[in-house]
Amino acid sequence: MEIAIRKITVNDLNELQSIGKLTFTETFSSGNSEENMKAYLKNGFSTEKLTTELSDPNAEFYFAELYGETIGYLKVNVGQSQTEIKDHNALEIERIYVLKEFHGKKVGQILYNKAIVLAKEKNVDYVWLGVWEENPRAIRFYEKNGFKAFDKHVFNLGNDEQTDIMMRLSIN
């Protein structure tokens, strides 16, 4: 499998909406109400929100593609675009999502590796992220890659307050 990583531009908005909604649904629909999922998908992947994020110089998106088909994506943030910690010496991995049929095929690892390359290029001291406490697969993935839990924060999915474990990895 030759997986290509391609930077996403505003011209890729529809494809980003499509893969974003699909992978989020595959990942979280079984543990959440249909009402909360619909609310999150409507707001989180709206044309306005994604256009703003794609136009932000401190946010970058990348597709993972196999034979020209999008099978996953990555979103990273630096500076004031980080969702919580606004440290100029940090990079946030906000999203790594892969289509369910490609789980276990190293696509997530390839996207993760791209994030680490970006962190090193930007010369940050550490990478951080938030992962839902009820997503043991993702927690194991990040622990396997050297991340350590350091705090928790609330993530709102519709009207449901959920707890994310915040994890970090020193780069230097």
Give me the pLDDT at residue 23, please.
96
pLDDT at 99 over 90: yes
Mean pLDDT of the chain: 95
Give the integer Cα–Cα distance in Å for 68 and 2. Answer: 10
User: What are 19-53's pLDDT values in tens digits?
Assistant: 999 999 998 888 889 999 999 999 999 999 999 99
Whether the predicted model's global pTM rises above the 0.85 cut:
yes
Q: Is 142 a catalytic residue?
A: yes
Residue 11: phi and psi, rounded to 5, are: -65, -15
pLDDT at 1 over 90: no
Q: Which of 73, 97, 112, 142 is catalytic?
A: 142
- pLDDT more than 90, % of the chain: 87
pLDDT at 158 over 90: no
Give me the pLDDT at residue 32, please.
85
Best CA proximity match to 13, nearest among 57, 41, 52? 52
DSSP codes joined into one string, 40-79: HHHHHT-HHHHHHHHH-TTEEEEEEEETTEEEEEEEEEEG
pLDDT at 155 over 90: no
Task: Decide if 58 contacts 81 (C-beta within 8 A).
Answer: yes
User: What are 108-142's pLDDT values in tens digits?
Assistant: 999 999 999 999 999 999 999 999 998 999 999 99
Task: Decide if 16 contacts 61 (C-beta within 8 A).
Answer: yes
Task: Decide if 91 contacts 75 (C-beta within 8 A).
Answer: no
